[in-house]
Amino acid sequence: MTAAFQDEALDVVPVRHYGRWVAAVAAVAALVGLAGSLAKNDNLHWDVVGDYLWAGLIFDGMATTLWLTAAAMALGLSLGTVVAVMRLSSSPVLYGLSSLFVWAFRGTPLLVQIIFWGYAAALYSQIKIGIPFTSITFVSWDTNTVLTPAVAALLALGLNEAAYASEIVRAGIQSVDPGQAEAAHSLGMRPALTMRRIVLPQAMRVIIPPMGNETINMLKMTALVSVIAAHDLMSNIQEVYAQNYQVIPLLVVASCWYLALVSLLSIPQAWLERRYGRGAARGHSTPTLRRLLGGADTLGARRTRKEAGR
């Protein structure tokens, strides 16, 4: 009886998910309807969108947006790493100063910080270097000359990012087994070398995904510097629609370019996540394109089950 049952061919039928197909059809229908409505809406003025989509001032603003993003992330990540190490220090002074930094810059809105740095000359008209509590000054600069809108925007974005980056780096460092550092110390490695060569490379698996999201978020947050006229993409857009009153079409132009830039940034982020997640089982995820095409792994698993049934 058992042998006859084993020789009998089994037809493995996968579970049908009819609700999933209904939801997919409804979602696609809603998307097509929305796209058709926007395409036929005369109030969008697609001719204005086409005129400004490739305008020179748009590319000038994008150049400022990109260098602000790169410089602010470099400043935030480097300073955030130092602050994270200070927060993990056994020195109460270093721990207290780093905690105060995180509390101040993470506890106030980014928009407030941008405006504060943009109007810092109202607080200090001169930037001086000298001996504290005396009238001796070695060198001084005019604040408005030093803190241009671009520099003020960089300081605001970079210092704010450093507060968040420090917590991400600290979480990554604490995720590494303390035994790794103890083994390195037993081999005679100094704490700084141990942190640089042993701990931080292993912590990158935890640091990279949220830091990639922070980079994408930073690209979008640069739009806030338009309040101090830093000549980024959003600032140039606002200058144009303040003259021709075509607010919605120009916001569509800005949205298109922000979406394009974010999409480009998502590619290296995905590569870095796979690169640093190779040693972890959950680091291997199904690529987005494969999921959109129906999931090659799922189809392969169904084929394997069917062949096994034969």
**Are 242 and 306 a contacting pair, CB within 8 Å?**
no
At residue 212, the pLDDT reads: 87
Rounded Cα distance between 232 and 149, Å, is 10
Tokens of 105: 């810059």
At residue 45, the pLDDT reads: 86
At residue 286, the pLDDT reads: 53
141 φ/ψ angles, rounded to the nearest 5 degrees: -135, 155
Neighbours of 308 (CB within 10 A): 9
At residue 283, the pLDDT reads: 43
At residue 133, the pLDDT reads: 78
Residues of the chain with pLDDT under 50: 283-284, 293, 295-302, 304-310
What's the predicted TM-score (pTM) here? 0.78
The pLDDT tens digits for 142-156 are 888 888 898 999 999
At residue 5, the pLDDT reads: 53
Which residues are paired to 126 by β-bridges? 142
Nearest of 83, 11, 98, 5 to residue 309 by alpha carbon: 11
Rounded Cα distance between 215 and 73, Å, is 7
At residue 299, the pLDDT reads: 46
239 φ/ψ angles, rounded to the nearest 5 degrees: -65, -35
Rounded Cα distance between 108 and 160, Å, is 9
Neighbours of 287 (CB within 10 A): 11
Q: Residue 287: which region, alpha, beta or left (left: phi > 0; alpha: psi -120 to 50)?
A: beta
Residue 213: CB partners within 8 Å, gap ≥ 6? 269
At residue 308, the pLDDT reads: 47
